[in-house]
Structure formats: C-alpha cells, structure tokens
Chain A
Amino acid sequence: MAIQKSRNKNIGITLYILFILVPIYWLLNMSFKSNEEILGGLSFWPTEFTLENYAVIFTDPTWYMGYFNSILYVGMNVIITLAVALPAAYAFSRYKFLGDKQMFFWLLTNRMAPPAVFLLPFFQLYSSVGLFDTHIAVALAHCLFNVPLAVWILEGFMSGVPREIDETAYIDGYSFPRFFGRIFLPMIRSGIGVTAFFAFMFSWVELLLARTLTSVEAKPIAAIMTRTVGAAGIDWGVLAAAGVLTIIPGLLVIWFVRNHVAKGFALGRV
C-alpha cells in the first residue's frame, strides 16, 4: 500500500518534470537542427545533428558581444546592489532612527511599479548626462528594483544574527570595519548568496529597460535575439541556440546558490 502510494507519487513527479522540461527540450532540439529541418515537419530529435547554429553565435561579434554586454551589466548590478544594500540593511537591522520603519516599507514600494513606468525618465536622464548606451546605465537602472529587494532580504538575515555578537566583537577590540568583514559577513553569507541570486535573476531577464537604454555598445543578448529576422526570414536555429546559451548562466547561478536559497526560504524573507 505504502509502496503503491509512493510509486504513484513518483510517477506524478516524473510526469510533472517532463511537462516542465518539454519547452526546454524543444529549444535544445531546435538548436541542433538546421532551419530546413525545423520548418520541414515534426521530428522529436535532430535527424541531421549540427553545431552550425552555435558556430554562428561564437563567431559573430554582434552575437557574442550581446552575451558579454549582458554579463557585464548584470555583474556590475550585482556588485553595486550588494555594496549599497549591505550597509543599508545593517543600519535597518541594528539602529533605530527617525522614520526607519516607514523608510523600510517605502523601499519595497519601489518594486510595486512596473519597470516600464521608469522608461521615460531613465531614457531622458541618461541621454542628457551622456550615460545612454553604456553598461553602467543599465546596471544603475536595475538597481532601482534590486536594491530594495536586497535590503529587505539582507535585513532578515542580519536580524537573525544576535546583536550580542556585535557587542562581543567590540568588547574584544574589533573595529567596526574589521568586525564587519571578518565576523559579520561570513555569518550572513547565505543571505548574500540569496541576494546576489535575486539581483542576478532580475537583471538577467529584464529586457525592457535594458533594451531601451542601449543601442549598440551595450546591447544585451535578449535584445539581439529579437532582431534575428533577416531577408531570408527568421533564423530559427540560431535563435534557439542563443536561447539555450541564455539559459546557461541562470542555470549555473542556481546550481551554486541552491542550498543558500533553501535557507533563505526557511528564514522567511525570500
């Protein structure tokens, strides 16, 4: 009976995962096919296996620079987000100051507006100060959404560290920066991992701001993918290969932070 039940459960889970993986499999499948085969008819695996589509991406700078641009501004964004949010979260978790609770909530309200709302102000502002089409422009724009979330998550982790540890460190003679680097940051490394993950994810998948604030120099991969319609029609195979390559960084990041994220969920701030 129990075995029967758990077998049913396993079948259910297997089916669920299969269904979820269907679109990803289809993408992978397409990326190894030629355009003729994709358009030719239904086939569940590549009959003529080809790496041609990947070769196009890795040899054409307009393609691979897209990845480079994306990774560059996402990396910048994660670093800036953490650099700004760590001290802010520490202040919120350790000190009382005028309007601290209101401000903490207000931070989160920043995320309530859709990114599209900020298109116009960002575009106009960056154009007038000469930041248009730079990596830092996109990184900074994404901070508007990532910093509040990062502060919120990190504050939860920091509040889990007893204040007495700070005090003991000062009593032992630690200066603040030394305590923060040597004792405090290692204690909340799960939180930093989770925060970096969320910042990365938002910035990596966000398309609207990234596309609007760039034109050539800092053009993200997702924007390049929307412009594959050539004279000969849509280049399905290359597009699929680009899609696969776009999934990979996210996959890697998730692989590295999966344990931390579980901890983050347990702490209730994610």
Chain B
Amino acid sequence: MIFDDLRAIQLRHGFLPKAELESLSARTQMPLYQIHSVASFYPHFHLVVPPKAEVRVCVDMSCHLNGAPELRADLERRFAGAPAEAVQIRDVSCLGRCDLAPAVAINDQIFTEVTADRAEQIARSALRGDTVHEEHPHVPRVACASDPYVDGTGVGEKYGVFRALTHTKDFAGVLALLKESELRGMGGAGFPTSMKWDLVRREPATPKYVVCNADESEPGTIKDRFIMTHLPHLLIEGMAIAGIVSGAKIGILYIRHEYHLQEEILGEELRRCYQMGLLGKNILNSGLDFDLQIFVSPGGYICGEETALIEAIEGHRAEPRNKPPFPVAEGLFHKPTVLNNVETFVNVPQILARGVEWFKSQGQGGSRGWKFVGVSGQVVNPGVFEVPMGTTMREVLFTHAGGIRGGRTLKAFAPSGPSSGYLPASMVDVRLDFKALADAGSMLGSGAIVVCDDTTCMLDMALNAVRFYRNESCGKCVPCRVGSQKMTDLLVRWTQGGLTEPQYRADLALLDELSAAMGLASICGLGQIVPAPIQSVLKHFRAEVDAHVLQGKCPSGICFSPAVRAGEANRVGIRP
C-alpha cells in the first residue's frame, strides 16, 4: 500500500526525500507523478524537511470560540524571529478535540486545553530534539443506555446478536427488522440503512465490502470518538452483521489518523474477536467468513465523503467520485460496498438485541432510538451525551451540557457543525430529529452541536466556516475549488467594512449566485454545503452583517482585532 510505504519513508527520514520516492517508484512501478500526486494531497506527508517543532493550532469552530486565534497570535509572538527550519506555527483543521478546546498538534501529537505557556514548553522541548508524546489519561468506560450488553439488562454476553445470527442465518429477518425500525444513517445524510444493505446484498458482483466511516472531521463532531472509546464491541458487531447480511467478507474500519487512542482500543477489541473466533474464516463453525481490519486515514476532512474515503483506501487522492454509480453498486475497488457511519453500525445490534418496539419507545416526540451528540463551544460542560432522539436542543444545552459558560446568554448554535448553519437562540426548542431540524432550515447531521454565547460575532463564525471548507476542498471540481476561495475573499472583504450600499448589494447578489452554483454544481456534499453557514447568518443575523459591511463596526468587537486576522496568509498557497 502506498500509504504504508510513504509512512515508512517518513518515519525514517522525517519527510519524503526525492531519492526515496524515486526508488519507491522503481520498486513498485508506480509512476513518479502518481506518488507525488498522492503524497502532495495529504497534509500528513511532508515533501520537504519539516521544522523541528511544527506547531499547528486548531482554528475551527470550537477552538476558534475558545481562544485559538489569540493562542496562535501569542505563540507567534513567543517564537518571533525563530528560523523557519526550527519552529513553524501554522493552522490546522479540526483535530476532533472540540470538547477539550483549544487543541494544538505539535509534531503530529495532539495536546488539548492548551495554554500558550504549555504549548511553548512542548515546542521548546521539541526544539531541543526531544520526542513529544501526546497524553492519554485513563478514561473509565462509560455505561451507555443504548448498550444492550450493559450489565444487568439480561440480554446476554457481548456479540450475542452476531453469534445467534451466524447460527440462524436469518439475514432477511435482519433486513426486515431494520426496515421496520426505520434506522437511518447517522453520518449526516440519513439514508435508510436497511435499503443500503439490501441493495448490496442483491448485487451479483463479488467481492463485496463493508466499510465503516470513522473519519469524523466536521468541526464539532466528536461523537464517534466517544463511541469508539466506550462501545467498540457494538461497532465491530454492527460491521460483522453488515458483512454477513450483505454477503461481504471483508470489512474496513476507516479511522481518522488523529485518533491514536481509539485505534488502539479497537485494535485490541479486534484481537479479542479473532481470538474468540468471531472474525476470520468459518466464524463459529458457521461457514461464514468475515475479516475486519483498521485503515488509518492519511488525513483530511474530504476523506469523510464516502467516495473520497473509498478513493483513499484504494491509495489515490481522496477526490469524491461523480455519482451515480453509488457505492452500493460500485464502491471500494468498484465492487458493491456497504458504507456506514460508526453510530449507524452501533445502532444495529441495539435494535436486533432489544427489538424494534424498544427502539421506537426510546425516542421522544415520535422520534426513535438514541443519539450521541457532541456539545462544544461556549458551554459549561462540553462533551458527548447520549440522549433520546427527539430531545429538545434546550435540554441538551442546558441540562446535559450545563448551560452557557460564564453566566452569559445563548446567542446561536450550530446543530451539526458548520454544515448545518447557525440557528438563533430563539430556536433552541427545536427537537433533535431529522425532520424537525430540516424544517428549521438546518440538519441533524452528525450531532455536532456548537454553542455560541452573546459575545460571538456571527459573521466571523461564517468566515471561519467558509475558510474551513476552503482549506479542506479537494480541488477536484471548479465550483468548490475556486468558489470556496472566492467566497472567503468576499467575506474577508465584508469583515473589513467600508463598502458602499450599492457595492454591498452587488456583493449580496454575487454571493447568492455563487451559493446557488456551488450548491447545484459541486460534485460532492462539501462543495454543496459551503454556502450554508453564511446563508444562515444572513438569514438570522443580517443586522450584524450590515453593521460590519456598511458601518465598519463589529457589534461583538471581534472582527477588527489582530488575533482573529492572524494566519490568513499562511493558509493560502502551495503547501510545502
């Protein structure tokens, strides 16, 4: 695999020297351009010698709300004048530590709730040549309400559903139950799970694959990290069930590379499963085979797009494919593929163990089942919470997450990261439900709730979101590649104020045209969703935007501060 080869080279040299890539090309018969094209796509790979201390401050949503711009500016001051080969302070896209903001990656090791003092101390130790290590404090397993195997429920030992199924082989029954449960994909799109599995099951082509998307990278999304930490057995069981039901013999768990700890936990659980004969050939003497392996993502938000993720597993640039065909027909290696989010797989053994009636009864207000939500931003108690589907946002924010930090008031919240746009505090009674949120002009998405208090500038948050998309665009299609940059340029201009009314009107019209084109013309969901944050802000917080553009005033006093400005230049241009 190309990524293994590249990682091995990088481990040896700290970067990818030309000579090594040339010999890799000679050895593998892979053309040079192809190696470079892949290596230059993923930020994880260094094509030039990296600095001794590479400090990368997460600047997306939750970290942005928790002092990342100031932290970055402070660090730049502290290392002012340091040569580029010694220290580089740069931005990085969401590291998936939104509940422990701000997060900083130093030499690819992630540190959370970082102060400038601590970051400086770690960077200085890296400068001295020490190897830095991220910390993994012991996290006790949390008993989840939705875990059917939690002590005392009497359902039986772990993997009970899967064991029984290898015996009964009643796959049609599983699909019928899932259909009745109306389980939908939990990754954002909400496609009916039973239909997806059934489509793959009916495909004549073999081999088939089951792929788990554990690449959650949307700012604010931390629920899969929690699930993989506390319910790894349900994930593996769900994937194995998907495998035998759909007829796939190979499963791949695609995990983001920033989740070192979860990779370990899952690896250990996998070993246990193999020891128990639950995975591998002839599972429990049933004649069924299913192998499951972990694939560590080479990195990038776009890898979470299902076809980009498939491209990455195939060793290509993670560029989304044109659809149709969909992965159910032509997925991994152009074979039928079940591709689901972590939480979707975890839901399956729950439903099969406890029954559809139980699943239906768990939701509130007509919704079904449980939902893991990550709450981050300006709340007292950020973290992941397991709540019944249909719970109101108010209950999530004020009961589970402890309300707004510092006694301030709620101004806005994103129900699911930048992609869901921002809703105003007045809509806090919206229920966590596919339909309710869609009706509110937002979406349930991946349950990445980001909370903004009354000190937040919403234009700044919109710009922050657009920048995130701009940085994470794969560049394959024009509307997203160029459009995300032009939208960033436009919003940067707005935050600087000083436009006349006709200019502003022209800009607004241009923004609408661009938004429509991006939404309609982009290949994948990333490009299509880029306009959502600014459009939601224009819809709900128009006066605030007007104040910036027409009066040169940021009502929240954010936009004209140097800390927020820092870093724009570093994020454009050719990555070294």
Is this pair of chains taken from one and the same complex? no
Chain B residues packing against A (C-beta within 8 Å): none
Chain A interfacial positions (CB closer than 8 Å to B):
none
